[in-house]
């Protein structure tokens, strides 16, 4: 057995779980809860939040406020804003962490890998040469080099300046 130290997981383990859509509920809690909810940026139709269990440092999600499992029901204004917020997110991550590339993806439907299949969102994962090392390949472990709240504070300033 290989023990891994992940003290932030205990908060999640002990927290009260909800059956409601987190992508609908978290933004409604107000801006004063954005840090707790890892919401970095709000536009008129979409918001950006950090993934609490990231694949890589700076793993973000762009999420429309409108609750839909796919592009159905999203207006042209929402879709344009979705892409503009995605562009802003890439620019902010470049400024903060100088990644060499990005993986962007939208999983629509459980069979496609959607963990939150009822509310569409785009995953954005910054990438660097060598960020998939022997730890990932052999140990099935990812190394996140910075505490999530330090990453949040750094990105929040850049996103909102």
The catalytic residue positions are 121
CA distance 57 to 143: 9
What would the two tokens of residue 34 be?
A: 């954005």
């Amino acid at each position: 057995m290989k023990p891994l130290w992940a003290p932030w997981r205990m908060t999640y383990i002990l927290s009260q779980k909800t059956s409601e859509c987190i992508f609908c509920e978290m933004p409604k809690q107000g801006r004063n809860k954005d840090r707790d909810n890892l919401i970095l940026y709000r536009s008129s139709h979409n918001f950006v939040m950090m993934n609490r269990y990231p694949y890589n440092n700076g793993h973000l999600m762009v999420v429309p406020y409108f609750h839909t499992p796919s592009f159905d029901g999203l207006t042209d204004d929402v879709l344009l804003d979705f892409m503009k917020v995605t562009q802003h997110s890439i620019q902010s991550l470049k400024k903060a962490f100088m990644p060499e590339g990005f993986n962007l993806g939208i999983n629509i439907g459980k069979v496609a890998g959607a963990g939150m299949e009822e509310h569409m969102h785009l995953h954005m994962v910054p990438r660097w040469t060598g960020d998939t090392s022997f730890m990932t390949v052999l140990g099935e472990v990812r190394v996140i080099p910075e505490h999530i709240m330090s990453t949040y504070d750094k990105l929040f300033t850049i996103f909102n300046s």
